[in-house]
Chains A and B, each alone.
Chain A
Amino acid sequence: MRSRYHNALRLGILGAGLLFIASQMTCAEVASYWNDDNPPPSSGDGGTPDGGDGMWRCFMGTPTKEDELLNRCTEAERIDRPSAIPKATWDGKSPLPFQ
């Protein structure tokens, strides 16, 4: 009887923990959502890829355009690093020079 009570307690604590984690994940996903009314920061030819706050703003809706496909939320491995182009070569905002 006592063992059954402990098991139920353990399950309850586990369930509450999972609910808490799930709620935090949902918040993070909502924060990463963008839509046409609220597009992600982008400079077109480069610039700050993640809005400058280090958070990946992936697209969670149904993609209709290329930038939505490229940035759709995915579980795939993603490499995020700053540009290796020296500032003296390109400011990250001007059009690329050899087009």
Chain B
Amino acid sequence: MWTATHIAQSPEVAAVLSVRRPALPVRRLALASFWALASLASPTQAGPCSDVKNAVYVAATPAAEQYVEKIAQLLQLDDPNPLPVIWQVTSSCRAAESVVLDNTPSGSCAPGACLTGTAKVWPLDRSPVKTCELDNKSGTHIHLAVSDVFPSSCPSLAAKPTSGVLDLLGPVSSYALVMSAQAMEGAIHAEEAHFVFGAGKVAGVKPWLNDSAVVLLGDRDAGPLLLAPRIKLPIGKWRTGRQVYTADEVFASLPAEPASSLSILPTTLIDKRRSDVRVLGFQSIGQHGAFFPDRKSNTFDKQNVRDGHYPLWGYMHMLLLADPVRPTQALSTAAARVADILIGKEKVATRDTVPMQLSQGFVPQCAMRVAKMNDSAPLSPAPASNACHCWFEKNVTGGVLNCGECKDGMTCSVGTCRRNFCEVE
């Protein structure tokens, strides 16, 4: 147990405090005390998350983990108005359920709401991320869910009205079917995927003839949920796929069966490990040829996601409970602030977060030319009102650079100056 006496006696705390400004906010001081002490504990012994006061609890899809981690670090350690964020990585639907099913946000947890288990938080001494334990008896209320699918795509929420929940759309998160890096296949047709996931090896679709080599993160993961409508295979009819529980397990499983392995992962994770997997082009039903998320297999421009040639993507949704009295506002203003930062509406530590979305592998909405109403809806043309295609291409590996610059922030002979590039759309 970490007590105030321990905190006062701790030389580590004194060291932490001595390098900080004397007028530290009380919240930051309490956090410093807690985590300095926590650093003395055994690495395997995580303290209760409830020891961090006034924290925003976030449940996040694996696609967003590194982005949430980065935002949490800046918000807690570098922002003039620091706010501790505690996050747990879970499937998109589990994250959504934890908020959407929370009918008693200030009472005991409703069935399906809240989360238990281990979560993560940044220590104030800038040491690596630490773990803490959520309330494993009665569950911890989650203030913000970060999901890659619309709540209606989750089987458990399909019939549930989402009134009382705010759904803010953030950047686009794309997914790709992947094989082992040693695989020879270059693409998969939607119809082939229908049989591979719906029937398995009996369908005889080469090279996917080994059911145990198909690994999935479960039917509440955004990957299968975004793929299902595209291959006309409802999530309840998937027959193939050995379940694993983390993306790292997927990466580790694929090389075991290099010729027949298959999985689906977010490109935010794939792009950081391109040499570990083979990304398959995807040919939609009615499409003439298969396309990668990017213009080429070795670029990072998400051109085909952005212009409608590649449909395996979802919006990064921020799900928050609405205030019953003011239904257009979030019940938790602190959680709403974190959501606004994640979608790029608000800065963190004076930094614009839209470039962070890009660097984490997401496609900011200003770089999209298409949209969709829900995860099963067809793509439709949707030019962004604040288009940032030139800026996006300039900042990704392999982007096409054919735009004029406006370094003064305003002057373009053609187009409109945005983010120092002349956008013609």
Contacts and interface: CB of A to CB of B under 8 A. Distances in A.
Contact of B308 (A69, A88, A90): A69
A99 to B, nearest CB: 5
B103 interface: no
Nearest to B281: A79
Interface in B101-147: none
B198 A66 contact: no
B288 interface: yes
Contact of B288 (A45, A57, A75, A89): A57
Contacts of A83: 189, 191-192
Contacts of B283: 49, 79
A98 B237 contact: yes
Nearest to A70: B287
Nearest to A77: B296
Nearest to B285: A45
Interface in A38-63: 40, 42, 44-46, 49-50, 56-58, 62-63
Contact of A76 (B189, B192, B232, B303): B303
Contacts of A62: 381
Contacts of A78: 281, 289-291
Nearest to A92: B191
B363 to A, nearest CB: 15
Nearest to B295: A76
Number of contact residues on B: which range applies? 35 or more
B309 A66 contact: no
B244 interface: no
Contacts of A50: 288
Contacts of A1: none
B307 interface: yes
Contacts of A6: none
Given A56-B289, A72-B308, A96-B232, A66 B380 contact: yes
A87 to B, nearest CB: 10
A97 B283 CA distance: 19
B186 interface: yes
A77 B288 CA distance: 12
B158 interface: no
Contacts of B381: 62-64, 69
Contacts of B205: 84-86, 89
Contact of A99 (B204, B233, B290): B233
Contacts of B237: 98
Interface string B287-327: 11111100111000001100111010000000000000000
Contacts of A36: none
A96 B378 CA distance: 18
B288 A76 contact: no
A30 to B, nearest CB: 17
29 contacts: A44-B285, A62-B381, A66-B308, A66-B378, A69-B308, A69-B309, A69-B379, A70-B284, A70-B286, A70-B287, A70-B309, A71-B287, A72-B307, A74-B303, A75-B295, A76-B309, A77-B281, A77-B292, A77-B296, A78-B289, A79-B281, A80-B290, A81-B187, A83-B191, A83-B192, A84-B205, A84-B206, A85-B204, A86-B203
Interface of A: 40, 42, 44-46, 49-50, 56-58, 62-67, 69-72, 74-81, 83-86, 88-90, 92, 96-99
